[in-house]
Structure 1
């Protein structure tokens, strides 16, 4: 598809009004406190992945409701001092995969925590997952967008965003990590979870958020032609009397609201032909990033002729440069 959304000049100044519940901060403070009260220490079991220059560990930590979340921890082998850590989250439907799939950040000299997404990892396009989601929901459309859609306490992404914030907690107790040098990262759904973690937690010193999902959800449901946003439309096509209730729930997970609370310097990306995460929704969140978090530095790379793959390897090169600049 060619360009279909707002032109770039308008996107750079696009700051729509986005519904934010009055109890947004109270809701998230209570949600995180409840899960932290149930948390148990993380574990890290060394794994031989056949790559002698990288040390791997199979990690388990407490997420939402005390549920155990899986992750892979990697770092350069033979390095003893605590290292800066990139905490990375998965795209929609993907899982943590196998340890040898994730070597970039350890190769660059950093630690890397590749976090599984509860209930995902069998999408067919990507890596397998290893973390169940033991919580049910009311009637929903296939996929994850409408699981628990009538109550923010029950929504799937309330659990996933809590997991993301508690993954940052876990860096303080895992071996070989410097909890004062944590960078959160991800693309699409992973970018949404990373941005939420950057807003919910005061520890991250950097954010890498690419072609970010879950932004400006009312507009996304209106204009995106594909799933996952299409899941919202399909649900509401049947439940015609629940529009207001659905979008109230979604306002608690809307990344545009989480982005306002970001405190860390941030590098984002957007693709102008992205049919999954329309660029106007990404810019709606990016342009609000840090409003309530002290106005940290931020930049966004724009890929004019790309779809949801975004900048690919070009963006990775930009991220490596950005991280070097943050860490010195």
Structure 2
């Protein structure tokens, strides 16, 4: 084997010890129940430059008294209802963007549900209370306890967004997919581990994998966690315990739906080892990983068309494009 093949082969064998706490299942059962408690949301059609799509602003009740802003977009060209839907999660510090950012999915015949992650670069604030200081950014808010952590609030927000999409009257609940890159890829895998009614997931260069390694070596958002521990070195054990609840590696045994993952071997943000540590433990019998030896932290070329090809295999006997 050449050096590239050797590297990829080694990554496929990488299965580090799990860091899961003993109450992991109870923790996520409680989150799933809390996420189901409130499905309050409003839907308002807004003007857009689209000639062949309708755009709605959705505001749904997230965790911790936070109103989550989302776009809900429907193609209207020869599209019978119910429609397949892609729920998208954005990268760290970004936002749901503008409706035109999602035009490719609409042109392929998908409805799109795109949300802001709380407190980051969009219209959504953050009502989560905190009893301790944090470093710059968002991920260290409440990091000392999993029950008060930023990640827990975000998980509830994302689960409610998925469930909102599932009950929209125009959507086929058997064809709701999740998609994201980096932070969004990690969140896509997270909700696919908790929500049983999703059809498939695509996670590009996902974050939130093998988080103990990430805090040590990566330059992703968890560098904020490393800075927090540097300031408060006595907090390391508590921080690692909190992160372990949200580590995709520890949740991979719950991911049973079709899943496609991408990884760049030159990625220093979401490390190849971290991504493979999670991927190798995913139990789905329909899983694939797309390795780009010379790619860093990026979505691969042609990801919209490739995503459509993956999702369209899974239409359960129905034609996605009429």
TM-score by length of 2: 0.92
Q: Equivalents in 2 of 1:214, 1:256: separation in Å?
A: 8
Q: How many corresponding residue pairs?
A: 311
Deviations 1:122-173 (A, max 9, x none): xxxxxxx111111132211111221111000111111111111111111233
The match for 2:297 is 308
SS of 2:254's equivalent?
coil
Q: Equivalents in 2 of 1:80, 1:316: separation in Å?
A: 22
The match for 1:325 is 313
Q: Equivalents in 2 of 1:180, 1:43: separation in Å?
A: 23
Q: Equivalents in 2 of 1:77, 1:105: separation in Å?
A: 13
The match for 1:254 is 247
Q: Do 2:204 and 2:261's aligned partners in 1 also have CA atoms closer than 8 Å? A: yes
The match for 1:71 is 70
Q: Equivalents in 1 of 2:226, 2:64: separation in Å?
A: 29
Write the mapping of 1:109-128 to structure 2, written as runs, cut at 5 A: 109-121=109-121
Q: Equivalents in 1 of 2:196, 2:294: separation in Å?
A: 35
Unaligned runs of 5+ in 2: none
1:271 to 243, 264, 268: 264
SS of 2:138's equivalent?
coil
Q: Equivalents in 1 of 2:56, 2:272: separation in Å?
A: 37
Deviations 1:30-62 (A, max 9, x none): 12323432332x322112211111111111223
Unaligned runs of 5+ in 1: 122-128
The match for 1:106 is 106
Shift of residue 74, structure 1, vs aligned partner: 1.3
Q: Equivalents in 1 of 2:12, 2:165: separation in Å?
A: 35
SS of 2:114's equivalent?
strand
The match for 2:211 is 217
1:160 to 151, 154, 173: 154
Q: Equivalents in 1 of 2:244, 2:152: separation in Å?
A: 11
Shift of residue 92, structure 1, vs aligned partner: 0.3
Instruction: Answer yes or no: is 1:11 the counterpart of 2:5.
Output: no
Q: Equivalents in 1 of 2:169, 2:116: separation in Å?
A: 19
Over 3 Å counting, the alpha-carbon distance change for 1:300 and 1:23 in structure 2 is: same
SS of 1:86's equivalent?
strand
The match for 1:124 is none
Q: Equivalents in 2 of 1:56, 1:315: separation in Å?
A: 23
The match for 2:30 is 30
The match for 1:126 is none
Please identify runs of 4+ aligned residues in structure 1 that moved more than 6 A: none
Q: Equivalents in 2 of 1:38, 1:324: separation in Å?
A: 32
Write the mapping of 1:113-192 to structure 2, written as runs, cut at 5 A: 113-121=113-121, 129-137=122-130, 138-192=132-186
